[in-house]
Amino acid sequence: MSTVAEDLQKSLKSTQSDFLVIGAASLGTIFEWYDFYLYGLLATVISAQFFSAVNEVTGFIFALAAFAAGFAVRPFGALVFGRLGDLVGRKHTFLVTMSIMGAATFAVGLLPNYDSIGVAAPVLLIALRLLQGLALGGEYGGAATYVAESAPPEKRGLYTSWIQTTATLGLFLALLVVIGARGFFGEESFKVWGWRLPFLVSILLLAISLWIRMQLAESPVFLKMKAQGAGSKAPLKEAFGRWVNLKVVIIALLGAVMGQAVVWYTGQFYALFFLERMLRVDGATTNVLIVIALALATPFFLFFGWLSDKIGRKPIILAGCLLAVLTYFPLFESLTRYANPALYAAQTSAPVSVIADPNECSFQFDPIGKNRFDSTSCDIAKSFLAKAGVTYRRVDAGPGTVAQIRLGSNTLTAPDPKILAGKPLKAAIADFQSGAKSALKGLGYPDKANPATINKPMVILILFILVLYVTMVYGPIAALLVELFPTRIRYTAMSLPYHIGNGWFGGFLPTTAFAMVAATGDIYYGLWYPVVVAAATLVIGVFFLPETYKRSLDTA
């Protein structure tokens, strides 16, 4: 058996055509992911720019929801552009998707904020996110299919793993540009207007990637199918209207892509949000730590792609899901310990509880910015802790119990709106919050992470492990999806499960997990979402997902 180093060396000595195929497809996809993920990296800044009419917690959830909107439409982009790719070809389709993505990203950098044009600002922002999602829905399937159909059969996993690096490299590129802009403009100027620069420079990336992709010829497998007259005239109907194909689509989604998606977004995006929002690590430091972890882990996409050519796609993908299920909770707890030691120590020595009647506790989400969460004592207590970023445990009490916050050995009783109203209630809430802040400070709860106490090597190690799981589930997935379907419907059939999995199960993960945290007060509670989904994929994949690595792609 050859080694990964030998195969990589051979691939570097391959023909100019191989270089062009992998390079052009990968580079263009990197730029598309760069465009798409800029929004995720700048969610906190965008929240302040476009959702300033609501409270901070709700604004951030709205910003994440707008981030997720781009994912929501990705399956529709997969249907539209997948059909086009199976009818007219892979190359022309992903030239169109790239143009739409680049134009929409550039336009985000020009958008006026909420203070300038009011509610029209977030509406326009979401519209552009929808365009980005539609474009990305057509891009990935085209690039992965094109490379797989152009690759030697015994190196299909290795060649397509270059495409799999593009999402991480696009995130890596976006992080570098954001870090550079933050450093050049300064944090305050960056938050006001410097954040626009990373979006605006995407127009240059668009021009470069379009020029490179124009040099490509059409996929040889697609040309052979067309020459034989074996193409599908109705790829959507054939892929999803025939049970023999639809069954494979469902198995691909539930037995592979669903788990891959939540592992990907937990390891690379939720970890970033967790550091910045839950652990109060400043944005610039968070970005640098993530960049280092990504740089260390990215080569493993190629390793696991190569390994999947030797032992198969299925065992590697499912092993990554298993590791995530078993280790996510201890890994994120360790992330708290090393990224914000003061917070970890305070949570351990002086845990916070809210003792209240559960019937008086609202879900702390304010979609119209009007609810102040002061109609019950429980809401007053929970609202304060949510804004302070303090994790807590809720202890159910009997009906009518006035809510209390237990901070270590101290107990503070929240004002009761059943007794107080108007100015007296407002004054009582202010006194309660002031007393709670002093108590938290006395127990060692920090307002933000102290950069001097962050154990950076350990944080990077934990982030590296999280991204390593990503490389396991994501490195072989393109080859597996391409191999599952015949050429005549391949672009359409593989794109839909990929984008439902990554667009819905994965893309909604940050929003869902953060809302779960806001509802329960437990900063780790959101991890149940990826753990349960990955566990479901593990079980379904073991029993129903076929192995594909020795299949031929020439079947029409």
101-121 confidence digits (pLDDT tens): 888 888 888 888 888 888 788
Task: List, in order of start, the domains of the chain with CATH numbers.
Answer: 15-340+449-544 (1.20.1250.20), 345-442 (3.40.30)
Could you give the CA distance from residue 261 to residue 256 in angstroms, rounded to a whole number?
A: 9
For residue 245, give both structure tokens.
């194909």
Above 50 in pLDDT, residue 367?
no
| Better-predicted residue by pLDDT, 555 or 165 | 165
Q: At what angle do helices 477-484 and 156-185 cross, to 10 degrees?
A: 130
The residues facing 407 across adjacent strands are 352, 410
Region 228-243: mean pLDDT is 72
Q: At what angle do helices 456-474 and 258-265 cross, to 10 degrees?
A: 160
| Better-predicted residue by pLDDT, 395 or 47 | 395
Could you give the CA distance from residue 168 to residue 256 in angstroms, rounded to a whole number?
A: 19
Region 531-541: mean pLDDT is 97
**Tokens 């708290």 appear where?**
336
Confidence tier at 231 by pLDDT (50, 70, 90): low
The predicted-structure confidence for 24-48, as pLDDT tens digits, reads as follows: 677 767 776 776 677 767 777 877 7
Region 250-260: mean pLDDT is 96
Could you give the CA distance from residue 533 to residue 265 in angstroms, rounded to a whole number?
A: 12
| Better-predicted residue by pLDDT, 340 or 168 | 340
Q: What is the pLDDT of residue 369?
A: 39
Considering Cα of 87, then 91, then 96, then 101, what sign does the dihedral take? positive
Above 50 in pLDDT, residue 137?
yes
**Tokens 């953060």 appear where?**
514
| Better-predicted residue by pLDDT, 317 or 150 | 317
Could you give the CA distance from residue 228 to residue 214 in angstroms, rounded to a whole number?
A: 25
Above 70 in pLDDT, residue 365?
no
Q: Helices H, strands E: what count in the chain?
A: 28, 4
Could you give the CA distance from residue 305 to residue 142 in angstroms, rounded to a whole number?
A: 18
Question: Mean pLDDT over all residues of the chain?
Answer: 82
Q: What is the pLDDT of residue 301?
A: 93
If one counts every other C-beta atom within 10 angstroms of the C-beta of residue 407, the result is: 23
Burial, 24: exposed, middle or buried (Cβ in 10 Å; 0-12, 13-18, 19+)? buried
Contact predicate 96/87, CB 8 Å: no
8: amino acid identity, one letter: L
If one counts every other C-beta atom within 10 angstroms of the C-beta of residue 105, the result is: 29
| Better-predicted residue by pLDDT, 214 or 289 | 289
Confidence tier at 368 by pLDDT (50, 70, 90): very low
For residue 25, give both structure tokens.
């497809």
Q: What is the pLDDT of residue 75?
A: 82
Above 90 in pLDDT, residue 363?
no
Confidence tier at 16 by pLDDT (50, 70, 90): very low
Confidence tier at 88 by pLDDT (50, 70, 90): low
* DSSP letter (8 states) at residue 275: I
The residues facing 353 across adjacent strands are 393, 406
Could you give the CA distance from residue 236 to residue 376 in angstroms, rounded to a whole number?
A: 53
Above 50 in pLDDT, residue 1?
no
Could you give the CA distance from residue 506 to residue 532 in angstroms, rounded to a whole number?
A: 13
Confidence tier at 545 by pLDDT (50, 70, 90): very high
Lowest mean pLDDT: which of 374-383, 418-427, 460-469? Answer: 374-383
Percent of the chain with pLDDT over 70: 84
Find the DSSP H helices in 298-421.
299-311, 314-339, 341-349, 377-388
